[in-house]
Structure 1
Amino acid sequence: MVEANNTTVTLQVHRFTPRPERAERARGGSPFAKNSSPFGGGSDSAARRRPRGKQWVQEYTIPARPSDTVLDCLLTIKRTIDPTLAFRYSCGHGMCGSDAAAINGTPTLLCTATVRDWAKQPSTAPEVDDEGFRRTGDETANEPDVPAENVENNITEGSLGVIELASLPGFPPQRDLIADIDPMLNQIRKLTPYLQADGVLATTAEGKVDVFEYLQNPEQLAKYETLSNCIACGVCEGACPVYAGGDAFVGPAALIWASRFINDSRDTKAMDRMDAIDTADGVAGCQSVRACSRHCPRGIDVGEEMWQIVAKVRER
């Protein structure tokens, strides 16, 4: 295992710079109108609209070790090469979920992805054939393998491989690797993501406050404890082929938050919560693809939980 400081990694970053915002006005209408379109177009539709701007792929080759995270590499670029590169992070330890992005096409967290796990050696086979068609997996399987000594020579010469980075799929990009996750957060807010108890203060026979009012047994706690670990990072949303960042499907993250309180024995609004998600854009929008279970940074089997909540809603 090579841990020398003379090794490098190449990051291929899909960059995006939005166009400067311009004040829009309705054709033939007042420039002071609240909506620029006579057909509506409120804040929700504006949030779902993919912004226009300049898109390009930029490569950075930097010194790196296999144990470095992709976030470490981006910070090195930001501090020493290109201060204009935009990405988002906070804790840097997989607890806040703010740095979710697509690494080699897979939604995950930058701070938990290591160069060792994600760097790939560039293929020697061309991506298209002589007639201009993209090569498939069956065609490339018949290609001769790259000699092992060539791969070893690449590492010896210092190249750990290439990592491709892009903003989180399913959300409009704001700039470079920063995605606008407001559509997901708005969907979560619509489902009242907080405990709703009956509001009656329990008292003992002596008239004192009953401090054990909401005491739970281990079985009751286990029903929602795993779901309470969700950090709303958007990785499951970016992996879901159904979710498009709008109202067509509420999304797995919002349904996980709803399920967390539906399974809480202290909550008194379980039936109301199930009514809220028993809609065409709620549980009915889930196609059970289970792609949402991949790379959840908190270890939640999102696909299984989705199946459980869909079954509970339909059987109630």
Structure 2
Amino acid sequence: MTNTTVTLRVNRFAPRPERNRDRGGSPFARKSSPFGSSAEAPARRRPRGKQWTQDYVIEARPEDTVLDCLLTIKRTVDPTLAFRYSCGHGMCGSDAVAINGTPTLLCTATLKDWVKPEHTVVQTDDEGFRRTDDVNDADDAAGADTANDGSLGVIELAALPGFPVQRDLIADIDPMLDQLKKLKPALEADGVLATTKDGKVDVFEYLQNPEQLARYERLTNCIACGVCEGSCPVFAGGDAFIGPAALIWSSRFINDSRDVKAAERMDTIDTADGVAACQSVRACSRQCPRGIDVGEEMWQIVAKVRER
């Protein structure tokens, strides 16, 4: 069997080391900033550093996942390549990146589904400037066919959009997690322990019928991977929009018949940076790895908040 190869084109990033700005305590130095404390600045400032694109060509099969390829590169080619993963089976959501510009999970993306042909050939003219020609040109077609013999094609990788990049393919998703925490994503029941007629604990206190369960069951599949927020043109990783992931988690408890804080939860998201900021673009539905129609669920929770 002929060996096949794939090219992973990775957008890499190495952060610049933080400089120590303490110069010995000048009596003329300003002790505090009117724009916030220095402890808050690193979290809000987009990191600076070196950015470049690096190609890795490795042997691979069409059924391999992009995560399989990155692990091969990490172990045998370049140990400095940084990316995040955990379970490797699409259950934890930690390995969300942009593949060919589309947010998705590394561990569920197979080469046969995402690989694309190399469309352009970059050449340099006599003066040293780069010239890009279509690979279908007659002059380049023969050479391109030879170069691509046995190659599956190219996959472009970048960190998850909408979030600050920490290193290479690792994005800082803390802004999303902070938004989730603000919404108190946990079931809040009335706290009253039901009892039967003979004084025993009623173990059927929180039983639900199938209709009640269906209202929120699919939303419990959300793994907070950030794919929907990376796809959302409104979300920018800050406080301007609470984000689709946070609204999905809020909707999960608002639709739970056992939760007694539905009204308060709707008050929390009925703000300018909550449901009012959603533009109903529905880009958030495109690649949800858990099969949630995020755009439809967003429309439902926005309608519920406005109609109450």
Deviation per CA, 1:193-230, whole angstroms, max 9, x where unpaired?
Answer: 00001111111111111101100000000111000000
Q: Paired residue for 2:85, among 66, 84, 89? A: 89
| Cα distance between partner residues in 1 of 2:249 and 2:44 | 21
| Cα distance between partner residues in 2 of 1:42 and 1:243 | 25
Q: Give the secondary-structure state (helix, strand or coil) at the position aligned to 2:11.
A: strand
**Is 1:308 matched with 2:300?**
yes
When residues 199 and 161 of structure 1 are mapped into structure 2, their CA distance, relative to the original with a 3 A threshold, is same
**Is 1:193 matched with 2:194?**
no
The answer for the alignment partner of 2:112 in structure 1 is 116
Post-superposition offset of 1:122: 1.3
**Is 1:6 matched with 2:3?**
yes
When residues 105 and 61 of structure 1 are mapped into structure 2, their CA distance, relative to the original with a 3 A threshold, is same
- What is the RMSD computed on CA atoms of the aligned residues? 2.7
Post-superposition offset of 1:48: 3.7
What amino acid is the match of 1:61? V
CA contact (8 A) 1:97 1:232 kept: yes
CA contact (8 A) 2:2 2:150 kept: no
**Is 1:243 matched with 2:235?**
yes
What amino acid is the match of 2:79? P
| Cα distance between partner residues in 1 of 2:293 and 2:198 | 46
What amino acid is the match of 2:99? I
| Cα distance between partner residues in 2 of 1:15 and 1:247 | 26
| Cα distance between partner residues in 2 of 1:218 and 1:42 | 52
| Cα distance between partner residues in 1 of 2:199 and 2:286 | 51
The answer for the alignment partner of 1:183 in structure 2 is 175
| Cα distance between partner residues in 2 of 1:149 and 1:202 | 78
Q: Give the secondary-structure state (helix, strand or coil) at the position aligned to 1:117.
A: helix
**Is 1:166 matched with 2:162?**
no
When residues 205 and 106 of structure 1 are mapped into structure 2, their CA distance, relative to the original with a 3 A threshold, is same
Counting aligned pairs with the same residue, the percent is 76
Q: Paired residue for 1:38, among 14, 34, 38? A: 34
**Is 1:292 matched with 2:284?**
yes
CA contact (8 A) 2:213 2:256 kept: yes
What amino acid is the match of 2:291? G
What amino acid is the match of 1:64? A
What amino acid is the match of 2:100? N
What count of residue pairs does the alignment treat as equivalent?
295
| Cα distance between partner residues in 1 of 2:231 and 2:50 | 25
| Cα distance between partner residues in 2 of 1:15 and 1:270 | 43
* Greater Cα offset, 21-30 or 9-18: 21-30
The answer for the alignment partner of 2:95 in structure 1 is 99
What amino acid is the match of 1:230? C
CA contact (8 A) 1:48 1:172 kept: no
What amino acid is the match of 2:17? P
Could you state the TM-score of these two structures normalised by the residue count of structure 1?
A: 0.86
Post-superposition offset of 1:298: 0.2
Post-superposition offset of 1:23: 3.9
| Cα distance between partner residues in 1 of 2:301 and 2:40 | 26
Post-superposition offset of 1:41: 5.1
When residues 116 and 149 of structure 1 are mapped into structure 2, their CA distance, relative to the original with a 3 A threshold, is farther
CA contact (8 A) 1:47 1:182 kept: no
Question: Structure 1 stretches of 5 or more lacking a match?
Answer: 31-35, 127-134
| Cα distance between partner residues in 1 of 2:68 and 2:169 | 15
Could you state the TM-score of these two structures normalised by the residue count of structure 2?
A: 0.89
Question: Structure 2 stretches of 5 or more lacking a match?
Answer: 123-131
| Cα distance between partner residues in 1 of 2:239 and 2:108 | 30
When residues 299 and 86 of structure 1 are mapped into structure 2, their CA distance, relative to the original with a 3 A threshold, is same
CA contact (8 A) 1:16 1:173 kept: yes
The answer for the alignment partner of 1:220 in structure 2 is 212
* Greater Cα offset, 57-66 or 42-51: 42-51
